[in-house]
C-alpha cells in the first residue's frame, strides 16, 4: 500500500498552464518528475492500492468496463472519504502518474493540438464539480462507485450495473442533487432500475425514466421524502410505476 499524494497548488497550476507545451508527454511520454520530485506533492495519512489502480481495464472493441473499473478504483482507494475525493489536487496527481496510461487508452487524445489541449484539461484535471463527477479519468469512477456504495443491502456491482446502464438515466439521477444525495431514495430508484435491467428495460427508456423522476418530484413537493422509511419509499415508487406510469412490468 502507498500513501496518497496531493499535488501542491503551485504544481497543479503549472501543469494546467502548460498543457499545450506538454502535449507530447500526455500523448506518449511521462510525467516522472511529478512523482520523483517531492516538491510537487504532499502526502496524506491514508493509503491506497497503487498496483490495483494501475490495472484498470482499457477499452476493448467499444466496451469500456465502467462497472469493473468503478469497483477497482473504489476498492483501491477504500480509505478515501468524500472530503478528500472532492479535491482536484489528488486526482490530478493520479491522472499524471499511476492513471496516465489508462487515461490515454480510455480518453484518446486528439491529433489536433487545440482539441487535444481542451481534451486534456477536461479529462486529466478536475476543476469544478462537473469535472470531478463526470470527466476526470479517476474521480468519475470513484464518485459513481461511491453513490452506489451508499445503498444498503444491495450488491455493489449489481447497483453499478443498473446505475451505469444508460448515460441519460445516470445523468438524470446525478444532476438532481436532492435525489442523489438522499441515499434511501437513490437506493430505491436504483433497485427498480436493477429489476428493470433484468426484465424488459422499460425504465431505461428516456421518456419513461424522466416521467418517473417528474412524478417522484411531485410527491416530494409536499412530503419530506428524507423522513420516510425505506419501505414507504418503495411503496411510493410502486404506486408511481403501476398507477401513474401504468407499467404492468418493468
Nearest to 41 by CA among 76, 79, 15: 15
Single residue of 86, 122, 127, 244 touching other proteins by CB under 8 A? 86
Which lies closer to other proteins via its Cβ, residue 67 or residue 228?
Answer: 228
| Cα 215–Cα 219–Cα 221 angle in degrees, nearest 5 | 110
By CB under 8 A, is residue 18 in contact with other proteins?
Answer: no
Per-residue b or e along 167-190, where b marks 16 or more CB atoms closer than 10 Å to that residue's CB: eebbebbbeeeebbebbbbbbbbb
Which lies closer to other proteins via its Cβ, residue 47 or residue 84?
Answer: 84
63 exposure class (CB count in 10 Å sphere: 0-12, 13-18, 19+): exposed
6 exposure class (CB count in 10 Å sphere: 0-12, 13-18, 19+): buried
Grid cell, residue 158, equals 449489481
Alpha-carbon gap, residue 138 to 221, rounded angstroms: 36
Alpha-carbon gap, residue 191 to 212, rounded angstroms: 14
Candidate ranges 10-18, 116-124, 192-200, 242-250; the one touching other proteins (CB under 8 A): 10-18
By CB under 8 A, is residue 21 in contact with other proteins?
Answer: no
The contact mask relative to other proteins for 101-140 (x = CB under 8 A, - = no) is ----------------------------x-----------
Grid cell, residue 172, equals 438524470
Single residue of 87, 93, 135, 240 touching other proteins by CB under 8 A? 87
By CB under 8 A, is residue 188 in contact with other proteins?
Answer: no
Grid cell, residue 209, equals 425514466
Which lies closer to other proteins via its Cβ, residue 219 or residue 247?
Answer: 219
In this structure, the dihedral spanned by the alpha carbons of residues 202, 206, 212 and 215, taken in order and rounded to 10 degrees, is: -150
Single residue of 21, 60, 62, 81 touching other proteins by CB under 8 A? 81
By CB under 8 A, is residue 220 in contact with other proteins?
Answer: yes
By CB under 8 A, is residue 72 in contact with other proteins?
Answer: no
Candidate ranges 22-30, 104-112, 171-179, 241-249; the one touching other proteins (CB under 8 A): 171-179
Whole-Å CA distances, 85 to 4, 5, 94, 238: 11, 12, 12, 34
How many residues belong to the site for other proteins (CB under 8 A)?
39
Which lies closer to other proteins via its Cβ, residue 193 or residue 236?
Answer: 236
By CB under 8 A, is residue 38 in contact with other proteins?
Answer: yes
**Rule CB under 8 A: which residues touch other proteins?**
6, 8-11, 14, 37-40, 81-84, 86-87, 129, 143, 146-147, 150, 177-183, 217, 220-228, 232
Amino acid at each position: 500500500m502507498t500513501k496518497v499524494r496531493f499535488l501542491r497548488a503551485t504544481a497543479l497550476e503549472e501543469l494546467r498552464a502548460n498543457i499545450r507545451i506538454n502535449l507530447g508527454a500526455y500523448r506518449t511520454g511521462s510525467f516522472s518528475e511529478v512523482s520523483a520530485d517531492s516538491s510537487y506533492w504532499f502526502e496524506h495519512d491514508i493509503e491506497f492500492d497503487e498496483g490495483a489502480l494501475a490495472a484498470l481495464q482499457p477499452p476493448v472493441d467499444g466496451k469500456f468496463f465502467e462497472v469493473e473499473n468503478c469497483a477497482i478504483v473504489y476498492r483501491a482507494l477504500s480509505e478515501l472519504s468524500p472530503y478528500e475525493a472532492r479535491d482536484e489536487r489528488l486526482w490530478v496527481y493520479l491522472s499524471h502518474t499511476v492513471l496516465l496510461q489508462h487515461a490515454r487508452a480510455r480518453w484518446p487524445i486528439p491529433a489536433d493540438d487545440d482539441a487535444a489541449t481542451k481534451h486534456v484539461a477536461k479529462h486529466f484535471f478536475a476543476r469544478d464539480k462537473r469535472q470531478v463527477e463526470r470527466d476526470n479519468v479517476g474521480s468519475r469512477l470513484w464518485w459513481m462507485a461511491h453513490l452506489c456504495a451508499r445503498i444498503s443491502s444491495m450488491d455493489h456491482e449489481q447497483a453499478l450495473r443498473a446505475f451505469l446502464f444508460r448515460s441519460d438515466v445516470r445523468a438524470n439521477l446525478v444532476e438532481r442533487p436532492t435525489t442523489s444525495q438522499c441515499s434511501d431514495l437513490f437506493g430505491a430508484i436504483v433497485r427498480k432500475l436493477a429489476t428493470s435491467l433484468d426484465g424488459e428495460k422499460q425504465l431505461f427508456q428516456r421518456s419513461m425514466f424522466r416521467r418517473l423522476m417528474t412524478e417522484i418530484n411531485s410527491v416530494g413537493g409536499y412530503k419530506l421524502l428524507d423522513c420516510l422509511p425505506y419501505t414507504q419509499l418503495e411503496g411510493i415508487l410502486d404506486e408511481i410505476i403501476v398507477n401513474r406510469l401504468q407499467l404492468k412490468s418493468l
